Structure 1
Amino acid sequence: MAALVGSRLLRFVYDALKDKVNITDRTLWSDNQCVIHWITRRDKKLPVFVANRVKEIRNVPCTIKYCPTKDNPADLLTRGISTRELEKSNLWWQGPPWLKQGDWPICPVFDSSTYHVSTEEDVGTLSEDYNKPSDDRSKPSVNGIQLIIDVNRYSGLTKLLRVTALVLRFISNLKQKATRKTGLITADELNRAEIEWIKDVQRQEFADIAKKIRDNKKKTLLSRQLGLFTDKDGILRCGGRLHNAPLDFVTKFPILLPPAHRFTDLVILNAHARALHSGLQTTVTYIRRRFWIAKIRQTVKKLLRKCVTCRKTNGKNLIKYRYKPRFNRIA
């Protein structure tokens, strides 16, 4: 969408100045390598939404180049900057220094630093296997806490965490007989139970991604898109543009959860109940304060259709029937 707005602005400025100024070249800059790949490559089929906008961008004759993220003036506002720092920022008022010098950066991902966008119409279609995984490797076997507790037997997140906390307390008491824990479940035990479930689910669903991050190997596509990293507890979290925002750590870097897992369903149902059975958007917003779930709207919508409380509240009114006598009057 940003490249689309930039191409429209480029066309508007060119049409306004072409009779007054001798313009020999038009350049469109982007700090997103995926967008450059979509625009310049024609051998990859794209989703309909992306393809329609790529088509409009290609109708604007220009040269598209890669701008490093650190040299992108737009990121100063989107990632957060004070008014005093913005006033003294040379990057914002004058642009990157290499823009005037001509020593333009080269993107190592592509073969050349310059890509010409033609005006040919080339509309991609949605590939049937676009959202399918690239290989058929089976998921890792169930391990960890899931070997002891079957998450499919629970209908609420609170009960699951309390049972898990009791199991972890029992294991801890076996190891440390001198200092046994008794009494009511504490908040620390519930937090530990939640962390154990999150780590176990991530080990099952994102084992390859976590291993590559630990070994500092080449990152996967999902890892690059979401800026994944592991925190001090070994939990996969998503990076983003909110790291300078005055928010909590869990909100700036949400926890990654798979869409098709029973634990994720329990997290969604718990958030829906805490949001007082609000609608789709409110539930999604509440969840994203702590978690990042792929295809979250589809997953939440599917679960909200099965919510008994919402169906009772939002159900259709009963039709009032008029009383009809069982027998007709005899004339």
Structure 2
Amino acid sequence: MIWRSNVDWDELVTPKVAADWLTYRRELQLLSKLKISRWLGMCSSADEEFHVFTDASEAAYTAAIYCRTKTDKDEVKVVLIAAKTRVAPLKTTSLPRLELCAAHLGARLVRQIQTSFGHKLENLYAWTDSMITLAWLQGMPSRWSVFVANRVADVQEVLPASKWRHVVSELNPADCASRGINPSQLITHPLWWTGPNWLRKTDRFWCKPSVQHNTDLEQKPGKTTSHVTHTVDELSKPIPMRSSLVRLQPFLDAEGILRVGGRIKNASCSNDIRNPMILPKRSSLARLIAAELHITMLHAGPQMIQAAMQRRFWVPGNTGGESRRMKIGAN
């Protein structure tokens, strides 16, 4: 609030800021009474779940992750593992964008927890009270503006669309941090320390498929970029936005072969020339093809081999020198 009020370093702050600060300073000593359980309830006889809650306000955005354990005696325990809060940027930003920043912060927090635990978190769910953010996260990154697309792509690598659920604001524990609470409220705030009450019930309604949401906000006007999967069997996993394949507009043909897309689909040439097959640069198949062309073309140079390969195949990052190395490697 101080930096938004344009108060210089040697000027008095506004009465409201001064009153809020004095209250906060007075209550800080109450935190000496705060006790936090270090045991998350994880043991060999308990089932574990992890729930990430994210929220944003005009002042800040937050992510908090909880561990939910259930013993064979149906005893449920929910414990806060970690949380992160960031102050909203000074530049005016829409609330949906801030909510997306909170989701992005949640994905980064999950990465940090997984690094600390030394393994990937199974049975992981994520929650937000923003319908627009859910719609963004459920769509392909290529549908959205650059700001949204970059963050959606990064979030989906850790928290795919299938992991996200909607929670009402009143029951979102991340709301406590994004809007702020005093130390006196923090000490005995059940929503913050143990999450919403329904997490401690045995009815795991969140295991049902998530509801689909839609929005036109931040959608690219009249532009479509192809996103395909790494394998035919993983149709729900998009290629990351940072992948070099994205600019090729790749697609899977009827036989499940990955091909280059583009604007020459109506050209009067063969299908292999219009849409060459994509091969990994260091794959055995690419090396064998380069070696065969080297022999059939009577030991032609790297540039001729590369030109011949590109009539049917596209090897990302391939240069004439790379074609020569692939040929030598195959021999």
TM over 0.5: no
TM-score of the two chains, using structure 1 as the length reference: 0.31
Question: As a proportion of its length, which structure holds more helix?
Answer: 1
* Structure 2 length-normalised TM: 0.31
Q: Tell me which protein shows more strand as a share of its residues.
A: 2
